[in-house]
Amino acid sequence: MKIKNRNLPYDDVLAIPREPHLLPKRPTMFFRTLLKTLSAPELRTVDFTYTTKDMERLGPDEPALILMNHSSFIDLKIAATILYPRPFNIVCTSDGFVGKRGLMRSLGCIPTKKFILDTTLVRDMRYAAEELFKLRRR
11 domain residue, yes or no: no
Q: How many domains does one find in the chain?
A: 1
14 domain residue, yes or no: no
pLDDT at 1: 60
Contact indicator for 112, 118 with CB cutoff of 8 Å: yes
pLDDT at 138: 47
46 domain residue, yes or no: yes
10 domain residue, yes or no: no
98 domain residue, yes or no: yes
CA dihedral in degrees (46, 36, 83, 81; nearest 10)? -10
Per-residue pLDDT in tens (0 to 9) along the chain, 138 residues: 677 888 999 999 999 998 889 999 999 999 999 999 999 999 999 999 999 888 888 877 777 777 777 777 788 899 999 888 888 898 888 888 888 899 999 999 999 888 889 899 999 999 998 887 775 554
Q: What is the tens place of the pLDDT at every residue in 8-42? A: 999 999 999 988 899 999 999 999 999 999 999 99
CA of residue 47 relative to chain centroid, distance: 23
pLDDT at 9: 94
Contact indicator for 80, 104 with CB cutoff of 8 Å: no
95 domain residue, yes or no: yes
Residue range of the domain that includes 121: 23-50+60-132
HSE, CB side, 13 Å, CA atoms: give it for residue 109.
23
pLDDT at 66: 76
Q: How many residues does the chain have?
A: 138
